[in-house]
Chain A
């Protein structure tokens, strides 16, 4: 399967714990995105990378959230001192972007469902 993969698929944690999620994008895709989706809502943009550079962060991304893409391939999203309000589906997406391919769609992974007790 050469699609976007995410690990784990489900995570249950206690409030105050740290969690880390991993995303493996489609190999030739240079852009990687993180979204958060809560029940009854569409995906909300958190941050994106162009290769290893984090180019944009949403104000939704508080100081407790950090994302990395150290080698321009897989990415991790860490949430420190989790709160119940962090419970959501965390989606990763990737796409190939160049000046000639501005309209390329994003390909989504299956998501990581986080439940904070």
Chain B
């Protein structure tokens, strides 16, 4: 089974500052990688995903993540955060061969400070 580690449970950052949310997974097989965001009292929404091709993937709201196979990482970054980015962020991985289960990390709570 896969496992996903999100090293930081809480990340406070000032508005307009850059942020990186870390994600590492344990796998010896090819995987698909995802970042989901969860706003208070809402379900999870897909932020971005890596399936194949370019290792740098971007979302429409300025987030990006880079797949690093050698380090089995998929860190999420944003060069300048907004108040509205305050939310819980989950990294997830699924096995490329079966794609049946998604394994989620424990989440990182991002708080943007005005």
Contact = CB atoms under 8 A, between A and B. Distances in A.
Interface of A: 4, 33, 40-45, 48, 55-56, 91, 93, 97, 102-103, 105-111
Contact of B32 (A56, A103, A109): A103
Contacts of A33: 102
Given A4-B43, A102-B32, A108-B44, A45 B90 contact: no
A43 B106 contact: no
Interface of B: 4, 6, 9, 32, 34, 36, 41-46, 49, 51-52, 90, 92, 96, 99-107
A97 B101 CA distance: 12
A97 B107 CA distance: 26
Contacts of B49: 103, 105
Contacts of A97: 99
Nearest to A4: B43
Nearest to B47: A105
A108 B104 CA distance: 13
A105 B9 contact: no
Contact of B46 (A43, A55, A105): A105
B34 A105 contact: yes
